[in-house]
């Protein structure tokens, strides 16, 4: 599972497009890790994000730990991961985890609005929206490739291998199994 999801999310993050996670409800554990593979995040004011791994006696195993550090920094990542802190939209915004807080039911529309400058030049004063010109798709893809390459260092790959090994040493073992069984019984 860890290898499969690390590979899938790495490939997703390298796609030649700008991605945004529209978080409307709860993003817990693997769902939280999934949001880290996107370039941007939009979250409804009522949504919640939590890396529940420590509560389950394990660690992130899909590469989300390393990506989270790149997004919010080491100190904030330690708090979010180590304390399994439940983040509201405002808290996530305040630490730089999300780019936009939306009203409930508006995350898709706000996400589209946020992505608009990647697609179109901003209209100049006096121009109508209909006069907007599209950005070069090749240039936008090129910019994304630069960012993806910068995040694809040998250190990042080594970190993902380390995260995978650590996750595999905990998942399905003693304390983790006990936590999984507790959740299933309840």
Q: Number of structural domains, the chain?
A: 1
Q: Are 62 and 13 in contact (CB under 8 A)?
A: no
The strand pairing partners of 102, in sequence order, are: 44
Which two tokens mark 127?
A: 């121009």
Neighbours of 87 (CB within 10 A): 21
Mean pLDDT of the 126-140 span = 76
46 within some domain: yes
CATH number at residue 136: 3.90.226.10
The string of pLDDT tens digits covering residues 147-157 is 887 776 666 77
Each residue's pLDDT tens digit, 76-119: 999 999 999 999 999 999 999 999 999 999 999 999 999 998 88
Q: Give residues with Cβ within 8 angstroms of 145, minimum separation 6.
A: 16
110 lies in some domain: yes
Surface-to-core class of residue 130, CB atoms within 10 Å of its CB (0-12 exposed, 13-18 middle, 19+ buried) = exposed
Whether residue 67 lies inside any domain: the answer is yes
- % of the chain beyond a pLDDT of 70: 89
Give domain status of residue 42, yes or no. Answer: yes
Residue 185 lies in a domain: no
Give the pLDDT score at 133.
79
What is the pLDDT, as a whole number, of residue 51? 97
Q: Is residue 86 part of a domain?
A: yes
What are 67-81's pLDDT values in tens digits?
A: 999 999 999 999 999
Q: Whole domain around residue 169: which residue ranges?
A: 2-180
Residue 172 lies in a domain: yes
Q: Is residue 52 included in any domain, yes or no?
A: yes
More confident residue, 11 or 128: 11
Q: Give the closest residue to 68 by CA, choosing from 165, 180, 159.
A: 159
pLDDT score recorded for residue 136? 87
Cβ atoms within 10 Å, residue 73 = 12
The rounded percent of the chain whose pLDDT value lies above 90 is 56
Q: What per-residue confidence (pLDDT) applies to 177?
A: 84
The whole-number average pLDDT for the span 112-138 is: 79
């Amino acid at each position: 599972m860890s290898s499969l999801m690390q590979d899938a999310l790495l490939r997703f993050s390298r796609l030649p497009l700008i991605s945004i996670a529209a978080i409307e409800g709860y993003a817990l554990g693997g769902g939280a890790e999934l949001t880290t593979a996107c370039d941007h995040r939009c979250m409804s004011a009522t949504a919640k994000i939590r890396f529940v791994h420590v509560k389950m006696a394990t660690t992130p195993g899909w590469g989300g730990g390393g990506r989270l550090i790149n997004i919010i920094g080491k100190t904030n990542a330690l708090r979010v991961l180590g304390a399994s802190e439940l983040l509201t939209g405002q808290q996530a915004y305040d630490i730089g985890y999300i780019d936009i807080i939306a009203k409930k039911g508006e995350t898709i529309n706000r996400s589209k609005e946020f992505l608009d400058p990647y697609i179109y030049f901003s209209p100049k004063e006096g121009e109508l929206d209909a006069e907007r010109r599209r950005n070069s798709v090749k240039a936008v893809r090129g910019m994304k490739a630069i960012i993806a390459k910068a995040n694809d260092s040998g250190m990042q790959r080594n970190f993902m291998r380390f995260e995978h090994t650590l996750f595999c040493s905990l998942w399905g073992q003693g304390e983790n199994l006990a936590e999984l069984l507790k959740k299933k019984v309840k």
